[in-house]
Chains A and B, each alone.
Chain A
């Protein structure tokens, strides 16, 4: 199957700093990438959908100025958590998909963010 990588796999940062997470599709070109957040024992929460070369579409309640998403190429999307606070500590997972409504999403391994 298609492979999606994420970097870093975990990060610990101080409150107020910004953290960038990279998501790469390694063996296919991803028209669409998705960013999810998952708190312990809870389900995936879609944060935003990004299409290459256009602005991301954020889900209701997700602050676009806090969670900056850039999808500069068909194989790379980045999520930057700006001015991170302890409540932003979570498991962030990206996924990538090919065009069309039938195609499944391929998930990255996730990034565990801890904000002190």
Chain B
């Protein structure tokens, strides 16, 4: 089982719709969870982070965390063509000598105009 799993997609949604991106993780002791957006040929940029169970909203983005189910999601409201990118779920896990961040393989999102 992969440590952080995402559906690779592509996920295609029409402009204005809600895009829902999902991620599961294996380490029950994980404390910090992040969503990054990566445009083709560019490096990842942080969109959201969440530490506590529940929802966290920032503009059109909402991150949801359920530690009991080991599940984290990202909702994008009023999707725009500029949201088309690969979205990476990342989880901080304790490791020998400190912590390390495990990235999922990413979900490709296409927003159709």
Contact = CB atoms under 8 A, between A and B. Distances in A.
A57 to B, nearest CB: 6
Main secondary structure of the interface of B (DSSP, over half): strand
Contacts, number: 54
Contact of A102 (B31, B44, B45, B90): B31
B98 interface: yes
A51 interface: yes
Interface residues of B, number: 25
Main secondary structure of the interface of A (DSSP, over half): loop
Interface stretch (B15-23, B54-62, B67-75, B101-109): B101-109
B2 to A, nearest CB: 10
Contacts of B49: 104
Contacts of B100: 34, 46, 49
